[in-house]
Amino acid sequence: MAENKFQLQVITPEEIFYDESVERVIFRTSTGDVAVLKDHIPLTTSLRSGIITIFSGRNNQYGVIHQGFAEIRPDKVTILTDAAEWPEEIDLERAKKAKEIAEEALKKQGEKPGANITVAKMSLTRALARIEMVEYHNKMVK
């Protein structure tokens, strides 16, 4: 079975979040979700915040990654991301509060010229990805 595996590295500015041999990985890019198996064609793509699903035999793992880039090669996938989290590291109440704050900032954008809409959109995207991850994890655990 090892011949069907490839190396997956997920790297943040703070740590090597994940570095193992896997059978498959699914993550969100700027053009949609991508599933990678060994011998995938070479590709470099930008990331969007979303769930990363890692298949490594019987132990599948789920996490959330945020903006960054992925380099896909036939025998290795390297993901460079601003942040990566396992579901148990996410504070759901904090994520919900961040979502509310970002939505309020976007709502007020029209009233307040010069508001930083890009930061608010990024905050909202991160909060939604975190909430989605926790809800998905809770559903899988039940």
Question: Whole-angstrom Cα distance, residue 89 to residue 85?
Answer: 6
Q: What is the CATH number of the domain that holds 133?
A: 1.20.5
Chain segment 110-142, per-residue pLDDT in tens? 656 555 777 788 888 888 888 888 888 777 766
Check whether residue 79 and residue 100 sit in a common domain: no
Element (H, E) at 110: none
Helix pair angle (92-108, 117-141), 10° resolution: 150
Check whether residue 79 and residue 131 sit in a common domain: no
Chain segment 6-65, per-residue pLDDT in tens? 999 999 999 999 999 999 999 999 999 999 999 999 999 999 999 999 999 888 899 999
pLDDT above 80 for 80: yes
When pLDDT is averaged across residues 101-115 and rounded to a whole number, the result is 72
**How many distinct structural domains can be found in the chain?**
2
Check whether residue 41 and residue 72 sit in a common domain: yes
Question: Whole-angstrom Cα distance, residue 127 to residue 141?
Answer: 21
Domain of 30, in residue numbers: 2-85
